[in-house]
């Protein structure tokens, strides 16, 4: 037996669309497929503007650059996240300030944000861990009262909702990832959601190496020029063509993952109720996307034994994240506000089970049995 932790999604039409991009003689950015993906995402998520990017990280970088931070400005975020959430704040010129997470969803604890706000705070970067939304009403209310921007790291939250609103469309900016480990993929890629049209033009400029080329292609100006800072954030059409095939099957992929997630949940609920381990919590106002299924074991020692047990049964289970405030760059560039009650302790207990589009029922049963055997 050999069950991978992740298999990149593939629905079948990817090659057809990539061939079409090649035959269009348009393999650089912003051709037919990039435009199709942008409008599909805008329409289906009711967003005013969405731009494909080269990664979730570059979408985060763009969002932070659009905030125009000054040196010394601070951005509040959880420490339990991927490094990109913090590196983008550094790229944007501000200082990351960590606060603790909630143990139930592993998301930023909305009740610890306000105490971390100083005269220099400019934004809150929330991470919708496992595609389960943060407590956005509370967070948006804090942001409004303190005049802060909200950046949603929705890398894992494509298709998830909070009170009926798609993640990424609630704050000022939303950032999606289409990395091969995410629900929808284009190899490496992502998208920036812009929820205020005042930022549309500068976003296009940042994405096109600091030039107003997008305006030129629309025929709004007769030559394009260098006007601002920027980088190359637009992906190749070849990648966009791969994603287009996946977006066409977005509901199928979502339903398939949700069904796998639910089967894990049902299989493990009795043992979770008996206190053997914990399983994910999804608050009633959140609809998730089956991005991840994890167990939280007693402690680091039990998790190590569990992952080794699964490995000896041919099942690959992984853990993450080493809290950013304890990493070398975190210690150098960031600070943690308040007490780390849950971030480190909870992160050391968490193990992720194989979860991907197309995981077969047989494989799922095999994984489930291997888990149950460990607790016998
Ligand atoms: C995957 C991920 C990212 C980075 O996305 P890339 O497309 O790999 O750059 C950022 N934040 C979170 C929470 C992620 O899971």
153, 167, 192, 320: residue to mutate for ligand 1 pocket, most atoms within 8 A of CB: 153
Which ligand 1 atom sits closest to the C-alpha of 179? 7
Give the model confidence (pLDDT) of 264-285 as tens digits.
Answer: 999 999 999 999 999 999 999 9
**For residue 4, is the peptide bond before it cis, meaning its omega torsion is within 30 degrees of 0?**
no
128: three-class secondary structure by DSSP: coil
Rounded to the nearest 10 degrees, the angle between the axes of helix 14-23 and helix 32-44 is: 130
Residue 108: its pLDDT value, please? 98
Peptide bond just before 321 cis, omega within 30 deg: yes
Residues with CB under 6 A from ligand 1: 55-57, 81-82, 84-85, 127, 153, 155-156, 177, 179, 190
Distance CA 28, CA 245 (A): 18
Asked if 157 and 12 count as a contact pair (C-beta separation under 8 A), the reply is: no
From ligand 1's centre to the CA of 147, what distance in Å?
A: 27
56 CA to centre of ligand 1 in angstroms = 5
| pLDDT lower than 50: segments of the chain | none
CA distance 88 to 300: 30
Give dist(CA 126, CA 111) in Å, integer. 13
Task: Give me ligand 1 centre to Cα 244, in Å.
Answer: 20
Which pLDDT score, from 0 to 100, does residue 198 have? Answer: 98
Q: Evaluate whether 261 touches 290 at the Cβ level (below 8 Å).
A: yes
Residue 75: count of CB within 10 angstroms of its CB: 27
The residue contributing the CA closest to ligand 1 atom 14 is 155
Is 108 in contact with 334 (CB distance < 8 Å)?
no
* Partners of 194 in beta bridges: 49, 173
- 0.95 cut: is pTM over it? yes
Cα gap 129→103, rounded to integer Å: 12
Whole-number pLDDT of residue 300: 98
Quote the pLDDT of residue 60. 98
Nearest protein CA to atom 6 of ligand 1, as residue: 56
Q: Which two tokens stand for residue 176?
A: 């999606």
Å from CA of 154 to ligand 1 middle: 8
pLDDT at 288: 98
């Amino acid at each position: 037996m050999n069950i991978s932790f992740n298999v990149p999604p593939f629905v079948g039409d990817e090659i057809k669309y990539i061939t079409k991009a090649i035959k269009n003689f348009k393999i650089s950015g912003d051709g037919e497929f990039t435009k199709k993906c942008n409008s599909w995402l805008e329409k289906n998520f009711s967003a005013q503007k969405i731009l494909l990017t080269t990664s979730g990280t570059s979408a985060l970088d763009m969002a932070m650059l659009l905030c125009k931070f000054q040196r010394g400005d601070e951005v509040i975020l959880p420490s339990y996240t991927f490094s990109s959430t913090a590196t983008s704040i550094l790229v944007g010129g501000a200082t990351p300030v960590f606060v603790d997470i909630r143990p139930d969803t592993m998301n930023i604890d909305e009740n610890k944000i306000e105490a971390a706000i100083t005269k220099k705070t400019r934004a809150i970067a929330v991470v919708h861990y496992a595609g389960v939304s943060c407590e956005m009403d509370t967070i948006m209310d804090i942001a409004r009262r303190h005049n802060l921007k909200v950046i949603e790291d929705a890398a894992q939250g494509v298709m998830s909702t909070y009170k009926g609103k798609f993640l990424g469309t609630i704050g000022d900016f939303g950032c999606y990832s289409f990395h091969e480990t995410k629900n929808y993929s284009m190899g490496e890629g992502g998208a920036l959601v812009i929820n205020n049209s005042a930022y549309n033009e500068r976003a296009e400029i940042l994405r096109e190496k600091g030039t107003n080329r997008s305006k030129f292609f629309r025929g709004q100006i007769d030559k394009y020029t260098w006007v601002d800072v920027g980088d190359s954030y637009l992906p190749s059409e070849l990648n966009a063509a791969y994603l287009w095939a996946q977006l066409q099957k977005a509901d199928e992929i979502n339903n398939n993952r949700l069904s796998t997630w639910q089967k894990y949940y049902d299989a493990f609920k009795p043992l979770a109720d008996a206190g053997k381990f914990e399983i994910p919590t999804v608050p009633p106002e959140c609809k998730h996307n089956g991005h991840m299924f994890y167990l939280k074991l007693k402690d680091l020692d039990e998790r190590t034994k569990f992952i080794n047990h699964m490995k000896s049964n041919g099942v690959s289970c992984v853990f993450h994240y080493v809290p950013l405030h304890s990493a070398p760059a975190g210690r150098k560039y960031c600070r943690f506000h308040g007490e780390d009650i849950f971030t480190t302790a909870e992160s050391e207990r968490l193990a992720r089970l194989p979860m991907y589009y197309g995981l077969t029922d047989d494989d799922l049963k095999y994984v489930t049995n291997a888990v149950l055997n460990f607790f016998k």
